[in-house]
Structure 1
Amino acid sequence: MRRLVLCGSPRARGRAAALALRVVEAYEQAGDEVGLVLLAEAVIAPCTGCNACKHNAATPLRDDLYCVIADSMARVRRRLNDCDALTVVSPVYFSGAPAQLKAFYDRLQPYYWSKYAKSTKRPADLFVVGEGGDPHGFEPLVSETRSALAVAGFRLERVHDWVGLVHEDGRLDDDRPVLEGGRTAAASDYCNETPSGLHPTYLRGGREAHHG
């Protein structure tokens, strides 16, 4: 299986990057062909909402995933398209994704207008890293990841919670294999969803699912 490991941290040598290297080794030992992308070493500008990708899909003049912004996203996108499975490793920034990862997610918008959004979903998992001092958790990071990856043809299946278990120097406070360590749960455990995989507010118009 061709797997892409994408580290969403702005730091190329922080906790998330250290865990990402362990994850790469673990999946290689499991038999996968693994590639690694560090967003800290990429230049991905934020989406400007220009709608060029939408207009391009309606009148195909370029490739299906055309974007007017010329940066590292084109290279990362090619690797994303070529993989059979995806692993995202990310720190938690105020319960959500850091700016570099959020920019990557937002730049997946061309997939929304293309054939990829309707393709068979490939498996994805998320490894979460943090010092453990935020009492608000990281459910928004899980929701952002699942939503963005869905349009690119992935289904987020598992979340590996390594918050508080990775030291600055890369040491892990868990002796189990990295793919089994931490606190692992189904992605649906973090999200208020229906059996279809969609959030109730999407199905009910956004009001009935809220109380109080």
Structure 2
Amino acid sequence: MEEVNLKPGSEDNPIVLKNKHQNTKLTQKHLKNSKIYIHRPLLQKYTKNNNGEEAFSFDKAPDRFESFTNNVISNPNLKPIDIKVALGLFHILDEISAGEGLVFICSTNELAYQYYGEDNLEVYFTNMDTADIELIPLHELISKKLNIIISNDSLNKVLIRLDSFHYINVTPITYQNSQLGINDKSLKKGKAYLKFIEINDRMNSKCLEKIWI
């Protein structure tokens, strides 16, 4: 019998990508418990209702090609460091992977790469896509790109905010978030030393300049 590779992100145990635009399963789960699930809470909190359902919808926003930068600098709710990191990430991904998502090291710990993905430093996802692991820690890449010093902890907090505003999509590379581990309720939430980060394509194709509040 062929041995199964249990490593998170391996071909046998791919990572489950975070839903980009809405999470129907979580919405239904919350409704059963008489609760409301808000996908990308900061985006919903700081945008005008434009779809008649007390919420913001990208589908109703006007189209505009290459609008990521304007959507960042026009948001009055972003901190200066949020703006710098968002624009820095956009350009880093453009330079390294032609705008495609990458797996970044989001930790100061020395990582044992043999415990993730395949031997060629490639991570597999359940949608059949793959992504390479960038070997330079993200906080170092951002610091060099922006000519600033940002700690790993500070950067991770910014990533959470940018994900909540839907500028980026962040998926932890952990066993708990793998195909074999995601439904195991006995597992505790693990710390993500690696994260798959991609730009939300709609933030680059829709204009939100007049929708922020």
Superposed pair shares fold, TM > 0.5: no
Which has the larger strand fraction? 1
Q: TM-score, normalising length from structure 2?
A: 0.24
Q: TM-score, normalising length from structure 1?
A: 0.25
